[in-house]
Structures are given as structure tokens and as C-alpha cells.
Structure 1
Amino acid sequence: MNEVEKILAELEKKNYSPIYYLYGEEPFFIDVISDYIERNVLSDDEKAFNQQIVYGKDITIDALIHYAREYPMMAERRVIIVKEAKELNRTIANLEPYVKNPSPTTLLVICYKYGKIDGKTKLAKELNKYVSLESKKLYESDTLKWITKYLKDNNYTITQVASQLLVSFLGIDLGRIANELNKLKIILPKGTEITPSHIEENIGISKDFNVFELQNAIGKKEFPKAMQIIKYFNENQKDNAMPMITENLYQYFKKLFIYSSSIGKADAELAREMGINPFFLKDYKVAAMNYPLKKISFCMEVIKQTDLKSKGVESGSISYYDLLKELIVKIIF
């Protein structure tokens, strides 16, 4: 059981803490806990007088403490949720007296996304005496595992290719991925194994023309297929932004470099270092035969140059399609 599940389990048992300090670079897990508290701690009738959602940019520390010190009205407790708490950074140290002696009838939830309070401060040390969660960004391999578990918990499964397709297109943004998976859960009956066809039909990510298939075509040096894919990208630029393509290709060659540099390692260890599912090692084995280390380094440099050109650096008037075509030719030949 991970930290998020432990916190949720205690909340379900109604074992409440007076303070919840939720911080870090991954907003999804912060939202999971704060949303649960917002929905479940108080009844609908109790919420009217005892639950407040405030925002860091709109409230002072003095006002926040005042709200937290108020007695509940016709309820056992109050809930104060501070969203965008990072906006309070300049004055948040003034919250220390309250944290040292919090109201036993208030749940104060501090949502400090995309950062954290300096751990050396007295406030941070006091906060860590209560329920705290550092919500870290997941690596790609962890995101793939998360997708599998998220669906399993809701009585669905997903193929490895479909899972990779989602991550290749949406990145490691758990909020976006969860939104798309939730759409599928509405459409598909429980027990369904989600495939690339389901994703194409219901989310709009082509199962044949996507950055994951472009990587495979490049790895196998299948130039005609790679050209077909970038032509599709050119016709659907809104859904295939250049930064997404270059980032995925760069990470692909970075993983290929690790694969080619790691001689004699067991598959499980190698997959872990690359941050991929062992299922896909066979594809990297094929690519490694086509791309020696020197060529891999060259490809990574070319991808970085293409990314810069796409952002207007020494690009002249080159079009989206011509930029991608130039990139594919340099990589494959």
C-alpha cells in the first residue's frame, strides 16, 4: 500500500488529522486526497456552514487562521481546504503558531502544488508532525504501472501497447491520462481489456499513426512507414505538436543508448534502467542493430536541433512537414 492509499484508508475509517500538508510536483495525487476530503468528511447539510475552499492568492494567513479557529456549526468539525497554497509562500511562515496548536475540530488541508515549503523552516518541521504527502512526478515506467493498477482497481485491463500509446501521446500527466481513462470507463463495460482500437475510436489517438509507431518505424529503419506517419501528423498538427514529437523521440534514443551501452545485464534490470516494460525490449534489440552508439548520439543531437528550429531558432521559414521530413531523413539515413 503506497502513501496515498494509506492516507485514503485512514480517511475512510474517519481517523482524521487536524492538518494535511500535500505538496510536490505531481498535482494528481494532491487532488485525489483533497477531493476525497471535500466530498466525504462532511455531509451535504454540514458543508454549507462548515466547509470552505480558499485560494492562496485571495486569502491572508490571519484570515486563514481565523477560519480554522472557528467552531463548527451543527457538526463535529470544520473543513478548510487551501488551494494554490504556494501563492502564500511569502507569508506562510506566519502559519506556524496555528500549526503548533491546531484546532481539534478543524481539518486544515494545505495543497501546495509544484513545490514545497523549505524543509529547514520551523513551519515545515511542525507540518511534518501531521499527515504530509510529497506527491512526486512518476517516471514513464511507473506511469505505465499506474495505468494498469488504476484500471485494475476499476475492473478493467489494458494491453501493453495500448498503455504505451497513451503515455506516448499524453506524456506522464496523470490528470490527463485519468480523464481519458474515465471516458473509456463510461463507454466500455467492466471487465473490458482496453486495446489500441478502443483508444483510437473513443479518445482519438490513431493506433497506426502516432509517435509510438513512428519510433518503431525509425527503429526498424522503415522509411516509407515513417513518412506516412509524419504526413498524418502534418494533416493533424493540432493533435501532434512538435514538442511532443521531439521529446518522445529524444527519450526513445536516450533509452536506446542505455540499451546499447548495457552489455550482459538481465532483461529485468535493463528494462528498469531504461524505464520501460520488458515487453518492449525486443523492439530495442532490433533498433540497436540498426543504430550504433555513434549514430544514436548523432540522432539525439539532430532531435535537439529540430526542437530548437520548431521554436524559431535559426529555422528560417521551414514548414512543420519539411522540418519533420528533414529530421526523419537525417535519422534513418
Structure 2
Amino acid sequence: MDDVKKLVTDINNKNLAPIYLLMGEEAYYIDKISDYIEANVLAEEEKGFNQMVLYGRDVTIEDIVGNAKRFPMMADKQVVIVKEAQDLWRTIEKLVDYAKNPQPSTVLVLCYKYKTVDKRKALYKAINKAGVVFESKKFYDNQVPDWIRRTLSTKGYKITPKASLMLVEFLGTDLSKINNELEKLQIVLPQGTEISPSHVEENIGISKDYNNFELRKAIGSRDDIKAFKIVNYFGDNPKDNPMVVTVSLLFSFFSQLLQLHGMTDKSPRNITSALRVNPYFVSEYLDAARNFPMRKVSGIIATIREFDLKSKGVNANAVPQKDLLKELVVRILN
């Protein structure tokens, strides 16, 4: 992210703001920036007297202001980091007076995770004027594989598209969780390795053959035998393969197929851009579009919606999810 690079560059150049508000749904970059400030603003010999880490659940706004107004000892700056600042959401606006006139010799860092400070209120405006506001937005599913690729590239690794999508399917869009698993792979695999589905299966425990992307591929190519093998596997391992995730992915897939049918330009490049899919999977979508005409796709989407409700207990009469999923796949393929 360009904003992160700029922040790091400014910190390295000692172009420091008196107050940083790091906020947003994605905690990964909030932690990374906070850790970077903690590690790099002060020299090691300065940290003992001039660096303090506070936690929102343990302090008041008055505590934060009191610490921020102290002068550094035998150093030009002091650093005050408030982690889990979102725990102060009821009183955070009381920080506005300090934010309007922050101590120049203090670097105050507020780590406000999983939510944002109200941008309409005075505190946000004051910090945005006197310091730096960084908003860490949640990644969309289709953005995460590229983030994985770029993250690994900086460490000297590559990854196949399928392997990265396996990680996203299993771990979601939580970048911290994904990064933890990537670090495990980097420990066991030599630099320069292209991480494959087999590497992911062997070291993280995600099946390369029985996952939602393989189910999507099997359905799209009308490979009934493979589709039902995967469905049976899901039914036997429901904790690792919740039906709600499978239904959501199938709904997204057939919605994209409907969009594909309506496109006049069906070149791989245009499909990649319009559907926001990895070029690696374009052939699967074209294959599925040939196997499922537009009218059929419209009916399938209605069927998926019906089974989404049933999976949540609506008009399902306590039918096991394994049986519901089998019936859904039968309806799609017939």
C-alpha cells in the first residue's frame, strides 16, 4: 500500500507527526505501523525513559494526555503508544483539546482497531490537521491473493494462484492470520520456492483436492463424480467446510457467470477486469458459461438463495446440512 510506504519513509527520514491515528477494520497494517514506530523512532538507549505502551482498557484519556505532555529525558522525542484504543470509544472525543495543541516533542500513536473514529466529529478533524490519520480498510476477497503474492515476493518466494486462493478460502481476509501461515511456510521452504497447493496442504492442513474452488471447478465442468466426492467430504468435515461458505462461493460464481453471459467482449483480459477474477481461472469461467446457459444460470441463482435460507433453518425441517448440500448440487447439475 502506497500510504504505508509513505508513512515508513517519513518515519525513516525523521519526518514525524506529533500524533498518529491508526484506525480501521483491518488490524494488520495498524499493528505493523505501530510496531515500526516502536522499533525505529527512538534509539535503544532512549527507550527506557522515553517510550511507553499503554492499553485502552487500562487507562483513561487523562492518563494518555498526562503521559503525552511529559518532556523527554535525554532525547529529542518521546513515544507514547496506545494499543486497543477502540476500548476508549465512549470517551475518545475528550482527547480533542490535546489533539488541537499536541506536544511537539511527543509522538502519540493511537491504535484504533476494527472500527473508525467518527470523521464528522472534532477529534478526527483535529488529528487530521495536526498529525496523521491512516485508515486500514478491509480487503475484498479478490484483493487478497495479490496481497499474498506481493508479500511473498518481498521475501523471495512465489505462489501459484490456486495455492493463494486456498489460503483465502480457509483463512478469510484476515491479513494477520494469513501472514502467520505464510511465515510458517517460509520457515519450512527454502527461499526461491514457488508455493504450491501441495505445500499448503502438507504444512497448513488445507486439502488441495477437497475445497470450495475444486467444487466450483467440478460443477462448472459438469464433473458430477468429482463434485459429489467433494460434497461428501464436506459433509464428513463440516467444521472445516461450513455450508454457509460453500453457498456464498457458489452464489458469487453463478452471479459472475450471469454477468459473463451479458458481456459482448469475452476476451480473457476483459473477463479478468470485469469479473475481478485471476487470469488463471478465466478458462474455468468460459467452460462453465458453455455448460450453463443464461436461463439456466438465472434459475440456479434462485435455487442457491433458497438453499441459503434452508441452511439457516428456514423451511428446512431440521434436514442435515450434508443432505442439503447434496440436494443443492443435484439441483444445480440437473
If the length of structure 2 is used for normalisation, what is the TM-score?
A: 0.92
| 1:219 CA displacement | 0.6
Cross-structure match for 1:177: 178
Tell whether the 8 Å contact from 1:80 to 1:108 is kept in structure 2 after alignment: yes
* Deviation by residue 1:114-151 (Cα, 9 ceiling, x = unmatched): 32222222221221132221211222332121111100
For structure 1, list consecutive stretches of 5 or more residues without a partner in the other structure. Answer: none
| Aligned-pair identity (%) | 48
Cross-structure match for 1:203: 204
Question: Are positions 1:316 and 2:317 aligned together?
Answer: yes
Cross-structure match for 1:153: 154
For structure 2, list consecutive stretches of 5 or more residues without a partner in the other structure. Answer: none
Amino acid at match of 1:69: K
In the TM superposition, what are the counterparts of 1:120-135 in structure 2 within 5 Å?
A: 120-129=120-129, 130-135=131-136
Deviates more, 1:197-206 or 1:173-182: 173-182
Tell whether the 8 Å contact from 2:260 to 2:266 is kept in structure 1 after alignment: no
* Deviation by residue 1:132-179 (Cα, 9 ceiling, x = unmatched): 212112223321211111000000011122122222322222122111
CA distance in 1, matches of 2:85, 2:264: 47
If the length of structure 1 is used for normalisation, what is the TM-score?
A: 0.92
CA RMSD of aligned residues (A): 2.0
| 1:209 CA displacement | 0.8
Tell whether the 8 Å contact from 1:25 to 1:114 is kept in structure 2 after alignment: yes
CA distance in 2, matches of 1:56, 1:314: 45
Deviates more, 1:97-106 or 1:181-190: 97-106
Question: Are positions 1:291 and 2:292 aligned together?
Answer: yes
| 1:185 CA displacement | 0.6
Tell whether the 8 Å contact from 1:96 to 1:123 is kept in structure 2 after alignment: yes
Tell whether the 8 Å contact from 1:118 to 1:124 is kept in structure 2 after alignment: yes
Moved over 6 A (4+): none
Number of residue pairs matched by the alignment: 333
Tell whether the 8 Å contact from 1:256 to 1:284 is kept in structure 2 after alignment: yes
CA change 1:259–1:170 in 2 (3 A) is farther
3-state DSSP of counterpart to 1:214: helix
In the TM superposition, what are the counterparts of 1:42-81 in structure 2 within 5 Å?
A: 42-44=42-44, 46-81=46-81
Tell whether the 8 Å contact from 1:71 to 1:105 is kept in structure 2 after alignment: yes
3-state DSSP of counterpart to 1:315: coil
Cross-structure match for 1:278: 279
CA change 1:307–1:46 in 2 (3 A) is farther
Tell whether the 8 Å contact from 1:243 to 1:307 is kept in structure 2 after alignment: yes
Amino acid at match of 1:9: T
